[in-house]
Amino acid sequence: MKILGISAFYHDSAAALVVDGQIIAAAQEERFTRRKHDPAFPAQAVQYCLNYNGLDLKDLDAVVFYDKPLLKFERLLETYYAFAPQGVRSFITSIPVWIKEKMFLKRLLREELEKIYGDEAAGIKLLFPEHHLSHAASAFYPSPFEEAAILTIDGVGEWATASICKGSGKELSILKELRFPHSLGLLYSAFTYFLGFKVNSGEYKLMGLAPYGNPASADVERYVDIIKNELVSIKEDGSIWLNQDYFNYATGLRMVHEAKWEALFGFPQRRPEDELQEQHCNLGLAIQRVTEDIVIRMAQEAKRLSGSRYLCLAGGVALNCVANGKLQESGVFDDIFIQPAAGDAGGALGAALAAYYIYFKQERKLSGRQDEMTGSYLGPDFSDQDVELVVRRYKGVYTYFNDIHELCTETARLLAEGNVVGWVQGRMEFGPRALGGRSILGDPRNAEMQKKLNLKIKYRESFRPFAPSVLAEDCDQYFNYRGISPYMLLVHPVATSRHKDLPADYHQLPLRDKLYYLRSDLPSITHIDFSARIQTVHKETNPRYYELIQSFKKLTGYGVIVNTSFNVRGEPIVCTPEDAYRCFMRTEMDYLVVGNYLFAKTAQPDWQEKDNWKEEFVLD
């Protein structure tokens, strides 16, 4: 049985192919179009998924869209009715688009598929599971658990903004829902907006900013009290009620009423390029604490309702790896699986799996593997011939290694000497994290590496932290954590034995002084609060990346390296060897490894393209 899942038309469009219950291929459209968070119909992702398995559209049993558009339209109409006469301007803007396009989604999907596959689209079966059911299916079915509680939290689907489900075998049932306009995802996005980051994109920046807040500051406690007393009422079961007097997302074109927020917190809304001040960091820490409180309460309620020992997580809020780490430390559940593509892109995969197990009632058989995501390496890969074409086009100069062991040894040496290396190997990752398939790498011992990567390679805000990739079996040597974290979705502390002493006035230091203070013997991956967003690397899912880190360990004694996504600010992660070579030549990266090819920057011909990529990819 062959099923194609699709998510589209809001943000992070994607396609995923499931064959006989096995996840064969999945990719986000942005990687092909080079437009970050591309919401368009995922034409190239669809073609990639089917081509990867040699299929035509007529070979499929169904195409499955990840939510129910009519229910979503119903929510829009009821919301405008409830808030009228507020929202007239937004109503006039959005409703015609809905009537013209999204309301008739079945017809729109067929038209888009016809553009690619012609008449084959006419008879294809189309299915529409609910949004949060798609999220829940994306987390439970690939998990290693026979039965589990499932918690999904995001901005909003049709009506639901969070759900608690129970999965058992092939069965999946919804136990409880939180409904729009009360939404943890939208609450977090409102703070993302107020603090000057882009909604649906900059939430992870807010999470990265939070640790710069002063945990001992009275302001943090004051902000937490304001949030809990004025903006959100939090119930014992984790459900929330948002005071709509302060929010504008239900019927307006902005997230909040800025003047009311400015009066509430005592400072103006931050503009995107404004310097970050202590008050911004403290407010970021306050909303992060409130978020963690709500997530843990929701998880406790999921435990109470399901009686399960295990938890699966999905939805955009499940990408908050700090909250995930706190939830894991809380011990509410014995073990947690988080869908690596937890946002809307993963909805494409969940829709396909929901159709396979729930609609078509197929049996579920656990393989005994770590999980069924195969390391999330589900995107395109490339051959030597593809790399040769790039070499010919740009007259690239390279060294070819027949032996992967020698290539890893040489790359490890370059890293240990302080070089920044682009690393493109095998299939591209599905989801927002680079996991050693499309990564930029560095030496975590190097105190200058964070600054170098942010300012000379990524061209982004200096406060942004970097994550470590560590050999799975060495994890507890570097971190206070013994489990696995293959998808970089958990934050845990750096091992206390590796900490450096801090001055008494550390929390009073300016942000930049705190940022570059030597905090451990792994300064480039030790976040300001001594935490790290860990990726455990496993030989079974990425043998080349595993061997590279092993080579680095033989050379330096450290089985851990810096891993950040292979892109510059505002750009989607690279997909092809050409994307990688262009990014390599446009930045101050020192070396590039694509498959068995090693490129040194100093050996390449002058870069002739004079286009300004900083305008092409604006700060997100």
Q: Which residues pair with 499 in a beta bridge?
A: 520
pLDDT number for residue 607: 87
Sheet holding 467-471, edge to edge: 399-400, 597-600, 591-594, 421-424, 438-442, 560-565, 467-471, 531-537, 490-493
pLDDT number for residue 79: 73
Distance, CA of 599 to CA of 409 (rounded, Å): 15
Would the pLDDT of 618 be above 60? no
Domain covering 144-338 assigned CATH 3.30.420.40 in the classification: yes
**DSSP state, residue 497:** G
Pick the CATH number of 2-132+343-372 from 3.40.190.10, 2.60.40.10, 3.30.2350.10, 3.30.420.40: 3.30.420.40
Contacting residues for 304 by C-beta, under 8 A, at least 6 apart:
none
Per-residue pLDDT, averaged over 82-98, amounts to 66
Q: How far is CA 44 from the centre of its chain?
A: 20
Would the pLDDT of 474 be above 70? yes
pLDDT number for residue 336: 97
Question: Residue 509's pLDDT band (boundaries 50, 70, 90)?
Answer: confident
Domain ranges of the chain: 2-132+343-372, 144-338, 379-615
- Closest Cα partner for 475 from 424, 433, 533, 429? 533
pLDDT number for residue 445: 95
Query: What is the topology classification, in CATH, of domain 379-615?
Result: DHBP synthase (3.90.870)
Would the pLDDT of 85 be above 70? no
pLDDT number for residue 96: 67
Contacting residues for 212 by C-beta, under 8 A, at least 6 apart:
276, 281, 284, 285, 463, 511, 514, 515, 528
pLDDT number for residue 240: 97
pLDDT number for residue 504: 79
Among 103-112, 324-333, 373-382, 386-395, the minimum mean pLDDT is found in 103-112
pLDDT number for residue 162: 97
- Average pLDDT of the chain? 92
Q: How many CB atoms lie within 10 A of CB 247?
A: 23
Would the pLDDT of 455 be above 90? no
Would the pLDDT of 420 be above 70? yes
- Closest Cα partner for 532 from 322, 335, 316, 328? 322
Q: Would you state the torsion angle of the CA atoms of residues 548, 550, 552, 555, taken in this order, to the nearest 10 degrees?
A: -140
Question: Residue 513's pLDDT band (boundaries 50, 70, 90)?
Answer: confident
Q: Between 64 and 198, whose confidence is greater? A: 64
Per DSSP, the three-state class of 596 is coil
215, two tokens: 């945990």
Would the pLDDT of 316 be above 80? yes
Per DSSP, the three-state class of 63 is strand
pLDDT number for residue 10: 86
Would the pLDDT of 258 be above 80? yes
**b/e per residue, 475-501, with b = 16+ CB within 10 A?**
beebbbbeebbbbbbbbbbbbeebeee
pLDDT number for residue 448: 87
Distance, CA of 45 to CA of 100 (rounded, Å): 24
Q: How far is CA 245 from the centre of its chain?
A: 31
**Three-class secondary structure assignment of 572-583:** CCCCCHHHHHHH
Question: Residue 11's pLDDT band (boundaries 50, 70, 90)?
Answer: confident
Largest CA distance in the chain: 72
DSSP state letters, 130-193: -HHHHHHHHHHTTSS-SEEEEEEE-S-SSSEEEEEEEEETTEEEEEEEEETT--HHHHHHHHHH
pLDDT number for residue 272: 87
pTM of the model: 0.93
Distance, CA of 553 to CA of 151 (rounded, Å): 38
Per-residue pLDDT, averaged over 273-295, amounts to 94
* Integer angstrom CA distances of residue 436 from 170, 208, 349, 453, 483: 32, 21, 22, 16, 19
pLDDT in tens, 437-452: 999 999 999 988 888 8
User: Phi-psi category of 143—alpha, beta or left, where left has phi over 0 and alpha has psi -120 to 50?
Assistant: beta
Contacting residues for 61 by C-beta, under 8 A, at least 6 apart:
1, 2, 3, 125, 360
Distance, CA of 333 to CA of 311 (rounded, Å): 6
pLDDT number for residue 403: 97
pLDDT in tens, 148-164: 999 999 999 888 999 99
Percent of the chain with pLDDT over 90: 77
Same fold, 2-132+343-372 and 144-338: yes
